[in-house]
Every structure is written in C-alpha cells, then in structure tokens.
Amino acid sequence: MSTFQLGDLTINRMGYGAMQLAGAHAFGQPKNREEALAVLREAVESGVNHIDTSDFYGPHITNQLIREALHPYRDGLTIVTKVGAVRGADASWLPAQSPEELEAAVHDNLRNLGLDVLDVVNMRLMFDVMGPAEGDIEAHITALAGLQQRGLIRHIGLSNATARQVQQARGIADIVCVQNQYNLVYRQDDAFIDQLAGQGIAYVPFFPLGGFSPLQSSILAEVAAELDATPMQTALAWLLQRAPNILLIPGTSSRVHLRQNLAAGKLVLPEQAVRRLNNVITSV
Ligand SMILES: NC(=O)c1ccc[n+]([C@@H]2O[C@H](COP(=O)([O-])OP(=O)(O)OC[C@H]3O[C@@H](n4cnc5c(N)ncnc54)[C@H](OP(=O)(O)O)[C@@H]3O)[C@@H](O)[C@H]2O)c1
C-alpha cells in the first residue's frame, strides 16, 4: 500500500470514512451496532491507519463507536476529524464557525474519541453547505492555530474549500490536507488537485463512491467487468491512479463492502481503462 505524508504522519492511501456508521443521513444510532463496531475493528486489523470522522456524525455517536471499538488506539492510527457544524433536531447541518464554537467542537471530539490531542482537524467551511464558496477564513484558521499552539491539535486541514482559501489559510498555519467532494463523475477540483500535489498537500475526496447517490455509469460497469472487479472497486482504483496526493476514505457500514474497498488498493487499471474512465464525466 502506498503512503502519503500528512505533516509528520505517514498515511496509507486507502483509509476509511466513518460517516456511514451512524443512522440514515449520518444521524442517530446505527442500524446494526455490532456490525459497525466490527467494521471499525476489521478496518484497522486490515492495515487501515487513517479514519475520517466528525463529532457531528450522529451527532457524537460515530466518535463514540470509534472509541468503543478501537480505544486504546494502536500506534500509527491517525483519526482525522472536522469542526464547523452542528446538527439540528431534524438532522440538518447548521454552521457553527465562531472561535468559541470551534473550540467547543474540538473539546467534543477529544472527549468522545478519548484523546488528549487530535491528529488532524479539518475546518469544514459552510459559506455554502453544498460546495466550496469564497469567503474570508482568517478568523477560523486563527482560532484553530491558537488551539494548535495550546497542544490540542497536531495538524490543520480544510474541507469544502477553494484554492484561494487554502492560500489564505497557509498564510496563518500549515495546511496538510483538503477534503472536498470529488469522484469519477464529479470532477470540479481537477486543476485544484494537481495544484495541491505540487504543494505537498493531500487531497481527500469525500463521496468517492458517490455518497448518498452511489455512482452509476455504463462505462464504469463495462470497464469493471473486463477487469473482473466491481464498479465501486474500479472507481476507487481510478482515484488512486488519478494523483499521488489523493488519500481515500470510502465509507461503508458493511464488512463485505469494506473488504471489497480495501482490495481495490491492489487493483491496477491499464492505461486504456483509465482513458475510458476519464471520459465517464462527458457521458453522464
Ligand atoms: N467533509 C465533508 O463535508 C464530508 C461530507 C461527506 C462525507 N465525508 C467523509 O467522507 C467519507 C466518505 O463519504 P461517504 O461514506 O458519505 O460516501 P462514499 O464513500 O462515496 O459512499 C458510501 C456509500 O457507498 C456504499 N458502499 C461503500 N462501499 C461499497 C461497495 N464496495 N459496494 C457497494 N456499495 C458500497 C455505502 O453503503 P454500505 O454502507 O451499504 O456499504 C454507502 O451508501 C465519509 O465517511 C466521511 O467521513 C466528508
């Protein structure tokens, strides 16, 4: 498994995203609690050393499951979390971006994960909940940098961010990763990914399999069948080959899917398959 450096942390490029462990829409209790705990344990036993989470999944429930399944955490396991939102009683995602709210969120994550320091905290920007939008983030990053100086955070990342916001943030603190929506059929960040690669910053696509609307494409299905792989494995392998700074965090609540996703780390796509998959975007 190839790796990437997140600051001083060495991360296997195939990780795991924990959002799907909470109930529907990342809200409430999981539909199968024992399976959720088993997925987490098997992921780490299989070599995953990068788990993506947030205290606003559940809320609190996903982090509590991670703690129950995996604490005390093995050396080398990196848990990446994010701050910047809270959940409404109706499962809505509400901005919580003031310095006081960010500090409270860091403490929520520390408490529910059972940690003294968070490895990586992504600032989840909410100028537009649905996608990156310009806006001044000096106050946000200054607040996180203050928490970093107090020893509560090791590294800072950005989520739902633009290139300009990354540039602004880097004037205040080191930025180790960007987590935006990206997959085979949603490729708004193509140029941004390459720019970040040049800066040594990891790009962590969320919804790598399409998220709440799983990827569907006849080209993807055909290429996968020719490679004797599933469409989801093929979509993950395409991302791994897309750029060296891409780290994967596919989400699943099932050990069967977890095994398939981890196996995609070994799937090598021939050049011709990559070319066909590159064209999926123009055919959907
Ligand atoms: N920063 C942000 O704003 C943000 C937003 C969304 C997500 N995220 C992070 O990104 C991670 C990944 O996103 P995601 O989990 O929402 O979306 P995803 O990884 O694109 O897709 C997850 C969906 O695909 C299904 N699935 C997974 N593996 C499969 C397989 N091998 N075959 C068939 N179906 C499969 C899952 O269902 P099953 O459970 O049935 O496998 C689930 O419905 C999350 O866990 C979260 O940590 C971040």
Q: How far is the CA of 225 from the centre of ligand 1 (A)?
A: 22
Q: How many CA atoms lie within 13 A of 78 on its CB side?
A: 24
DSSP state of 25: G
What is the pLDDT at residue 283?
A: 54
The CB of 251 under 6 Å from ligand 1? The reply is yes
Residue 121 is predicted with a pLDDT of 99
Q: Which residue has the tokens 């098997």?
A: 42
Which residues share a beta bridge with 58? Answer: 27
With a pLDDT cut of 90, the percent of the chain lying above it is 98
Residue 282 has pLDDT above 70, yes or no: no
Does the beta carbon of 255 lie inside 6 Å of ligand 1?
no
Q: pLDDT value at position 281? A: 79
Tell me, which fold does domain 3-212+245-251 have in CATH? TIM Barrel (3.20.20)
Task: Kindly list the distances between the CA atom of residue 30 and the CA atoms of 22, 60, 64, 187, in Å, as whole numbers in the listed order.
Answer: 4, 12, 12, 31
Task: Tell me the residue length of the chain.
Answer: 284
pLDDT in tens, 151-183: 999 999 999 999 999 999 999 999 999 999 999
Task: Please say if 182 is a catalytic residue.
Answer: no
List strand residue ranges (DSSP E) for 160-210, in order.
Answer: 175-179, 202-203
pLDDT in tens, 50-85: 999 999 999 999 999 999 999 999 999 999 999 999
| Beta strands per DSSP E along the chain | 3-6, 9-12, 16-17, 50-52, 78-83, 85-87, 93-95, 118-124, 153-159, 175-179, 202-203
Phi, then psi, of 88 in degrees rounded to 5:
-80, 165
pTM of the model: 0.98
The enclosing H or E element of 109 equals helix 99-113
Distance between CA atoms of residues 206 and 209, nearest Å: 8
% of the chain residues with pLDDT over 70 = 99
Q: Which atom of ligand 1 is nearest to the CA of 250?
A: 19
Answer yes or no: is the C-beta of 46 below 6 A from any ligand 1 atom: no
Residue 110 CA to ligand 1 center (angstroms) comes to 24
Average the pLDDT over 138-149 and give the result. 98
Q: How far apart are CA 223 and CA 91, in angstroms?
A: 37
Task: Report the separation in Å between the CA atom of 150 and the middle of ligand 1, taken as the mean of its atom positions.
Answer: 33
pLDDT at 261: 98
> Looking at residue 189, what is its pLDDT?
98
Q: What is the pLDDT of residue 149?
A: 98
- For ligand 1, atom 16: residue with the closest CA: 211
Average pLDDT, the chain: 97
What's residue 1's pLDDT? 74
284: pLDDT strictly greater than 80: no
Q: What is the DSSP string of 30-60?
A: -S-HHHHHHHHHHHHHTT--EEE--TTTBTT
CA angle 112, 92, 155 (to 5 degrees): 45
Side by side, which strands form the sheet with 153-159? 16-17, 50-52, 78-83, 118-124, 153-159, 175-179, 202-203
Pocket test for ligand 1, best of 25, 79, 158, 209 (most atoms within 8 A of CB): 209
Whole-Å CA distances, 208 to 182, 188, 237: 6, 13, 11
Regarding the beta carbon of 124 and ligand 1, being less than 6 Å apart is answered yes
Distance 77 CA to ligand 1 centre (A): 20
pLDDT one-digit tens code per residue, 85-111:
999 999 999 999 999 999 999 999 999
The confidence score (pLDDT) of residue 179 equals 98
- For residue range 248-276, list pLDDT tens digits in order: 999 999 999 999 999 999 999 999 999 99
